[in-house]
Amino acid sequence: MAPAAAVGVVLLPLASRRWVRHAIPLALLLLLLLYLCAWSFRALSGCRSGTQSCTPEGTSPAQVPRQSGPLEAPEREEPQCVGPQGVVGRVMWPFRASLNPEGDVALSQYLAGWRALVRFLTPLGSIFAFATSEAFAKVTALEARVHGPEAAHYSSLAAMVAWERREGLLERPGIAPRDTASSSGSRILLLLHRALRWSQLCLHRVATGTLGGPDAGAQCSDAYRTSLGPHHPWLVRQAARLAFLAFPGRDRWLELACPGAGEAEARAALVRVAGTLEDVYNRTQGLLAERGLLQLA
């Protein structure tokens, strides 16, 4: 991890001491945010992606329980925004397609879903800047393997892990590579997997939050604390906590998810997407747990 840049201190005249007293908290906040930005462009915190898990990483069962509250949209006409060309539909359908009938996860579809998820989250503001930038770097690095010379071994999660284990490419727990490009594909996927959990929890809680209950910022901050936070250094956690204070409200989420739709329709769309992401998370969690890879990073 690159050290934080040194900040020079200028001694001010006595008359300026009052100004300095007020500037110190701002300087501290700036340091935290600068550290966060620098840290995020390294390997992945990232979005300990997804989320990080709600099930302790050394344990089985492989799946986490579904979130409280229904994750299926009510029986009615499907919101247009969840169709294949809709805003959230472009996120949901590739992820759904990644769940192949053999019980595996198809990597090309999984990564296509991640690209769409990054595009959806980016307009939500600076809190997602570090998560989406590092997720994008990891998606790109894993795509290089999926479409590279060894593509035959990267068709699915199970195939990738089996080949990387045979070839001795898996990192030992606690040994972090220098950067994303030198990571194993399995480690990259684990980091994306953690970030996916955070995204899923945010979407579900925004969609199901009640009037008078916690706002979207508080709900997604709590999701971060339980999913990605345990895998981040203390300084990054503090910077994220501050950034959540400027988190977009629920109305902004709903407007981006289903432009021009009513609140009920937009909420139903987010519930549908959150349910799909949870299905992908649960299957991936199970595959990684069976192979003993939840401690890989």
Average pLDDT, the chain: 75
> Residue 99 forms beta bridges with which residues?
105
Closest CA to 192 of 111, 123, 270: 111
| Residue 126: per-residue pLDDT | 60
Phi, psi of 231 (to 5 degrees): -105, 5
pLDDT at 44 over 70: no
Class in CATH terms, 44-290: mainly alpha
Among 81-95, 119-133, 244-258, 262-276, the least confident range: 119-133
Is residue 214 a contact partner of residue 78, using CB atoms and an 8 Å limit?
no
pLDDT band with cut points at 50, 70 and 90 for residue 131: low
pLDDT at 14 over 90: no
Neighbours of 5 (CB within 10 A): 9
User: Of residues 124 and 234, which shows the higher confidence score?
Assistant: 234
User: Of residues 17 and 163, which shows the higher confidence score?
Assistant: 163
| Residue 141: per-residue pLDDT | 94
Burial environment of residue 14 by CB neighbours within 10 A (0 to 12, 13 to 18, 19 or more): exposed
Give 16-41 pLDDT, tens digit per residue: 444 334 444 443 343 444 444 444 43
| Residue 48: per-residue pLDDT | 37
- Read off the amino acid at residue 266: A
What predicted TM-score, i.e. pTM, was given to this entire model?
Answer: 0.72
Token readout for 141 is 């690095």
Reply yes or no: is the peptide bond before residue 61 cis, omega within 30 of 0.
Answer: yes
Neighbours of 122 (CB within 10 A): 14
Q: What is the mean pLDDT of residues 43-64?
A: 38
Q: Report the distance separating Cα 191 and Cα 134, nearest Å.
A: 10
Among 36-50, 137-151, 170-184, 242-256, the least confident range: 36-50
Among 84-98, 196-210, 273-287, the least confident range: 196-210
| Residue 73: per-residue pLDDT | 39
pLDDT band with cut points at 50, 70 and 90 for residue 99: very high
> Residue 50 forms beta bridges with which residues?
195
Q: Report the distance separating Cα 133 and Cα 145, nearest Å.
A: 19
Q: What is the mean pLDDT of residues 255-281?
A: 93
| Residue 166: per-residue pLDDT | 96
| Residue 77: per-residue pLDDT | 63
pLDDT at 89 over 50: yes
Neighbours of 182 (CB within 10 A): 11
In the chain, the percentage of residues whose pLDDT exceeds 90 is: 39
Q: Three-state SS string across the chain, please? A: CCCCCCCCCCCCCHHHHHHHHHHHHHHHHHHHHHHHHHHHCCCCCCCCCECCCCCCCCCCCCCCCCCCCCCCCCCCCCCHHHCCCCCCHHHHHHHHHHECCCCCEEHHHHHHHHHHHHHHHHHHCHHHHHHHHHHHHHHHHHHHHHCCCCHHHCCEHHHHHHHHHHCCCCCCCCCCCCCHHHCCHHHHHHHHHHHHHHHHHHHHHHHHCCCCCCCHHHHHHHHHHHHCHHHCCHHHHHHHHHHHHHCCCHHHHHHHHCCCCCHHHHHHHHHHHHHHHHHHHHHHHHHHHHCCCCCCC
| Residue 71: per-residue pLDDT | 43
Across 35-44, 104-113, 243-252, which has the greatest mean pLDDT?
A: 104-113
Among 72-81, 106-115, 165-174, 225-234, the least confident range: 72-81
Phi, psi of 290 (to 5 degrees): -60, -30
